[in-house]
Structure 1
Amino acid sequence: MDRPRFRTAFLSPRFWPLWCGLGLLWLIVQLPYPALLFVGRVLGALMYRVAGDRRRIAKRNLELCFPEKSAAERKRLLKENFASTGIAFFEMAMSWWWSRKRLAKLAHVEGLEHLKKAQRDGKGVILMALHFTTLEIGAALLGQQHTIDGMYREHKNPLFDFIQRRGRERHNLDSLAVERDDVRGMLKLLRAGRAIWYAPDQDYGAKQSIFVPLFGIQAATVTATSKFARLGKALVVPFTQERLADGSGYRLVIHAPLDNFPGETDEADCIRINQWVEGALRDCPEQYLWAHRRFKSRPPGEPKLYAKRG
């Protein structure tokens, strides 16, 4: 995919409201990091009150995945999750516009040697990540230390797409954006020994998935991870990230590559992936994107798990 380029059409009046919003956001993220955490939590509290549909989806997911917790515990977790989502809004802007030096001070990276070894061995890497609220800044911080290509879906607004892509790709000019549906392009990069960020933790529909347990619930789980690893002759390297509670930044962990993966069957591989996903979410539940309807697709004959949207 070509690098993003500025177009004079972006100066037309229809883009002025977005320019104003982006300008205001740029001004806000010049604040010190602790202040941004505070403002983000305030935004998250507001979102909790007004984003009714998203709040109900997240609440339902927490009920399904953490039935052992009390209602009061889940409510506290839900509010923390919205606070994390509010902070993520400013983390996105930080990753786009903070200087590389200022941003790098927040990074606490572990396990980088796994990516370096794969690079030396000429092995492609599927960097198996999750949709944490810290996704944007985590990718930026890791991208400063190692070339990571990313799966990408073009935004409907061309100006926002330009700003987003330029912000993401500035951390490593060698990084590439791969269209999400460009399977051939992804396999080509993997065979060339590159590392590609990939998240298999969302519900993409029953047609391209199989149903295996996640938190004890049958969940539509994509089989693409196994296929990409097999056809791209690539390692699958789990990657987790979290915003540190002491305000010192972010802990990024590149875990050891999965042994004997892919395995004998897609089902066994999907079960293994979901077990890893479940463990990662239990470690840091408040920072996950629970507003996604993870259990939307159901096996034949099973009832829907979410109420109709308001």
Structure 2
Amino acid sequence: MASRDRSVSLHSPSLWPTWAGVWLFRQLCKLPWTAQVRLGRFFGRLIFHVVRLRRKIVSVNLDLCFPEKSRAERHALALAHYESMGIGIFETGMAWWGPDEKLPPFTIIGRENLEAASEGGRGALLLTAHFTTLEICGRFFVDNIPMGGLYREPDNRVIAHEMYKHRVAKMKPAIPMDDLRGLLRGLRDGATIWYAPDQGKKSKFAAILPFFGVPALTNTATSKIAQMSGAAVVPYFGFRMEDGSYRLEILPALENFPTDDANEDAIRINRLIEDQIQRAPEQYFWMHRRFKRRGKGLPNVYR
């Protein structure tokens, strides 16, 4: 994978294969959307049967989170997830390069909730999670409602370039993932900022807390961010519907948040995300090692 090193030219021969892939997907964006969805589902199924490494991660996650389902049901859910990921690749292409007139239909529900939370110039932390519909729903959202967001730059220079040009540049403000001061500044200035705390990492703002009843490294920073910025925490989720349309839902701002117990606040957020996952479990990003680095006494479930 290409380095983040800015001294590497975007025209370096080492990046030509990635540029070829970008060109290909830009051409595929010209197909009718229904054809792209069929291709995405096909590629997802193909990858499911060919690439075993990530399939093991998905299988472990589903075993832990849905023990009430039979083995056959979890297998079917894993396959549906891969199909959703395949469609998500084409959704990313449409989100970055698709003209407005070729985008699939969508509905935004709950604008009034964000407006109420933002009264008086108050910032809003748009609380969400990593679903496979992230990119295309982000395009729908930012094209209709001003929104900033946190972003992590990909390793590949070409993908980072295209992501910044077509996604990050639309976010006002666009804030690097580790820039807490920039996030607080944006919220204090009244911005609405996309924020997904569902992929925990080791830090002073992390704790081992239940996710689907299973101990998981969990981000507890949401309470601190809300407290320091004075921003409302407004849940938002986007789903791919059975009829091919998309539904973006902005829920009412969390009441009595934050409290003086950051762990309890994080558990409340985990439960909120779990409820949304249950609505379309195949659309959640199960390829992430959600239950890694949990400390002593808890096994490495991915080994």
| TM-score tier after normalising by the smaller chain length | over 0.9
Contact 1:223 1:270 in 2 (8 A): yes
SS at match of 1:72: helix
Residues 242 and 118 of structure 1, relative CA distance in 2, 3 Å threshold: same
SS at match of 1:253: strand
| Counterparts of 1:12 and 1:57, CA distance in 2 | 34
Identity %: 41
| Counterparts of 2:213 and 2:156, CA distance in 1 | 39
Deviations 1:92-143 (A, max 9, x none): 000011113432x522110111222333421111111110011111111111
Contact 2:114 2:252 in 1 (8 A): no
Alignment of 1:43-122 (within 5 A): 43-103=43-103, 105-122=104-121
Q: TM-score, normalised by structure 1?
A: 0.91
Deviations 1:42-76 (A, max 9, x none): 10011101221110110111110000011111111
Deviation at 1:88, TM superposition (A): 0.5
| Counterparts of 1:222 and 1:270, CA distance in 2 | 7
Paired amino acid for 1:62: L
SS at match of 2:144: coil
SS at match of 2:121: coil
Deviation at 1:244, TM superposition (A): 0.7
Contact 2:208 2:218 in 1 (8 A): yes
SS at match of 1:264: coil
**Bigger shift: 161-170 or 141-150?**
161-170
Contact 2:221 2:262 in 1 (8 A): no
Paired amino acid for 2:74: R
Q: Which residue of 2 aligns with 1:292?
A: 288
Contact 1:210 1:221 in 2 (8 A): yes
Q: Which residue of 1 aligns with 2:190?
A: 193
Structure 1 regions of 5+ residues with no counterpart?
1-6
Contact 1:203 1:296 in 2 (8 A): no
Match among 238, 258, 272 for residue 276 of structure 1: 272
Contact 2:33 2:102 in 1 (8 A): no
Deviation at 1:216, TM superposition (A): 1.2
**Is 2:226 the counterpart of 1:235?**
no
**Bigger shift: 297-306 or 86-95?**
297-306
Contact 2:151 2:168 in 1 (8 A): no
SS at match of 1:189: helix
| Counterparts of 1:208 and 1:51, CA distance in 2 | 34
Contact 1:240 1:253 in 2 (8 A): yes
Match among 219, 241, 246 for residue 244 of structure 1: 241
Contact 2:128 2:196 in 1 (8 A): yes
SS at match of 2:291: coil
Q: Which residue of 1 aligns with 2:166?
A: 167
SS at match of 2:167: helix
Deviation at 1:11, TM superposition (A): 3.5
Paired amino acid for 1:215: F
Q: Which residue of 2 aligns with 1:127?
A: 126
Deviation at 1:230, TM superposition (A): 0.6
SS at match of 2:10: helix
Contact 1:41 1:83 in 2 (8 A): yes
Match among 165, 178, 183 for residue 181 of structure 1: 178
Contact 1:219 1:294 in 2 (8 A): yes
Paired amino acid for 2:201: Y
**Bigger shift: 122-131 or 199-208?**
199-208
SS at match of 1:140: helix
